[in-house]
Structure 1
Amino acid sequence: MEERRGATRPSRVLIVDDDDGICLLLESVLALPVYETTSVGTAADALSIARSKEFDAVLLDRFLPETDAVQIVAALRSALPSAAIVMLSAVDDVKGRVDGLRAGADDFLTKPFHVSEVIARIEAVHRRALLSTIDADLLSYADIEMDVAGRRVWRNGTALSLTPTEFRLLEFLVENAERVLSRGQLLERVWGYDFGGGEVVEKAVSLLRKKVDAGREPLIQTVRGFGYCLRSEST
């Protein structure tokens, strides 16, 4: 990576879609002083530019020519570890959502989408980036330890590999350990918006649970009819 994010540069958004009309629409929507957009139409071009330039968010078409976007999410995540990856799909595909989240995507938008929702989600990315620069806490609960500044987490001394969204989700759960949090609260705090997205929350919690609780005492509890809670039944 040739450069790192500075305090004053505009937020950068990489748009990956083979539909020129979608690219032009997103570029016009995000054509504000705080955003700088780059559009490409292929997975190869996306990976090439992601490896040479820093981006804060990626808007990635689910179905690219001759390429399944899910297959390149992991590569984009490796090249842009701090960026939010939002997949765009013309099909409300549950399996695609799950596969994308598992590969490292942070969110989904179904086409046709409302331009205000695109702006809201990109603004949420920008707020999270600003918050992360001042958060240097060490958090712990039960046998979970989190180095927030270093973006590292351990369970019973074993390092866990989490995506940025999974890390933010666990961080919020640890900060509010033994408190029940609604899906709306999680959506607003972790994703940065407070409308829709219930399915995204459920899938993200499910994937996080598999990493945090696998083979160990279950700590991420589902409170039926309301939300989730980080709680040890042994305490």
Structure 2
Amino acid sequence: MGARVEVMVVEDDETVLGVVSDYLGGRGYAVTALRDGLVARDALRTARPDVLVLDRMLPGVSGDELCRQVRATAPRTPIIMLTALDTVEQRIDGLEHGADDYVAKPFALRELQLRIDALVRRSRAVHVSPAPFSLGPFRVDAAHRRIWADGAEMTLTAREYELFLFLLQNPDRTLTRDDILHGVWGWSFGEVSTVTVHVRRLREKIEPEPRYPRYLLTEWGRGYRFTVGAAA
């Protein structure tokens, strides 16, 4: 994968933290292992890991709150949430706080590694970027991963940027959630609620009125369609 991957793991269960750290460290990752949310918050003022792995239940500062804070200061840092909360609604709640992905406990170490690798590959990928282009009120400079709306640069997480770019490159096309999972996350299968949450978050940033979207439309029973045509 090229340069050594730096992973910060914040988990208050000493056994889980040790097992994950030993597993990743044994496979060449540079691992910073922390057990307290406050300590992690202080460390993240200067550290910029390639991937941040957060338990949701942490002492000091919860994983949810820490995720929100990181999103405010380093919006493109890839974040994976570890959660023992196993209902779809509880997992969606974790994504709503800004995580890019989640892994439910108990989990296979290999699965966690694969999800870390997928996030790093996409954040480090070198693409032949298309020339800057505009679509409706949106202007895109893919070479520098920047998007403007009505002349104002948007603040997007890494995953929100990738999702929005994918939609902008596929205008007026109905995309299923599986299409989006494959095109944006690189997964051939996965939890489609991940797409639902990220679409909701993106709407909050691109829509004048997110409850009544004019650009990112739901095609009921089919998926989503991005358009810059007349409001539906």
Shorter-chain TM band: 0.7 to 0.9
Partner residue in 2 for 1:38: 32
What secondary structure does 1:67 align onto? coil
**Is 1:185 aligned to residue 179 of structure 2?**
yes
CA RMSD of aligned residues (A): 2.6
Q: Please give the alpha-carbon distance, in whole angstroms, between the structure 1 residues aligned to 2:19 and 2:131.
A: 40
Aligned residues between the structures: 229
5+ residue gaps, structure 1, are: 1-6
**Is 1:218 aligned to residue 211 of structure 2?**
no
Partner residue in 1 for 2:146: 152
Partner residue in 2 for 1:17: 11
**Is 1:125 aligned to residue 119 of structure 2?**
yes
* TM-fit CA distance, 1:40: 0.3
Letter in 1 for 2:219: V
Preserved CA contact (<8 Å) 2:92 2:193 = no
Matches within 5 A, 1:97-108: 97-108=91-102
Select the residue among 70, 75, 91 that pairs with 2:64: 70
Preserved CA contact (<8 Å) 2:10 2:34 = yes
Select the residue among 43, 47, 51 that pairs with 1:49: 43
Letter in 1 for 2:194: V
TM (norm. structure 2) is: 0.85
Letter in 2 for 1:147: D
Q: Please give the alpha-carbon distance, in whole angstroms, between the structure 2 residues aligned to 1:132 and 1:47.
A: 30
How far does the alpha carbon of each residue in 1:118-160 deviate from its partner, in whole angstroms, 9 at most, with x for none?
1221111121122257647424322211222333322223433
Partner residue in 2 for 1:143: 137
Q: Please give the alpha-carbon distance, in whole angstroms, between the structure 2 residues aligned to 1:211 and 1:73.
A: 18
Partner residue in 2 for 1:173: 167
Query: What percent identity do the matched residue pairs reach?
Result: 31
Q: Please give the alpha-carbon distance, in whole angstroms, between the structure 2 residues aligned to 1:8 and 1:109.
A: 25
Select the residue among 76, 83, 107 that pairs with 1:82: 76
Preserved CA contact (<8 Å) 1:121 1:193 = no
